[in-house]
Structure 1
Amino acid sequence: MLKGHNDKQPKKVADRDGLSVLWRSTGRISFVYRYRFAGKPLNVTLGVYTNNYAGITLGEARRKAEQC
């Protein structure tokens, strides 16, 4: 698992096709899909990476983003 960073704001790293990763200072990693509806930008969290069966992987997040 990645160790947290010292910034108060989460780090946002773009992947592709609207999919991004939010890395919080606590070490929590979330997959977020960004899209537009009626001209307004919206975000939906697809899941959390936990490095075990309870979370989702990058591959699973990419598949979910494609479905959106």
Structure 2
Amino acid sequence: MTVSSDVKTCVASLKSAQASLEQFALSTQNKQAKQTYTQAAQSTEQIVSQLEHRVKQLENEEPQYKGF
């Protein structure tokens, strides 16, 4: 696997984790748990954003990996 595909796989996994955290936040009645899940989802969103930026950089450096 290339670095680009590894990073893209990581992004996909993090997006899945973020969606799970958001679902947990919506399904719980516990305010502290809801806050914890929401904060974790927001942190994950920031990381995903940074990694998506890195994917764009990698695709610019190695255009043959664009879209994979």
TM-score in terms of structure 1 length: 0.22
Larger RCO: 1 or 2 (CA < 8 Å, sep 6+): 2
More strand by share: 1
- TM-score when normalising by structure 2: 0.22
- The structure with the larger Rg is 2
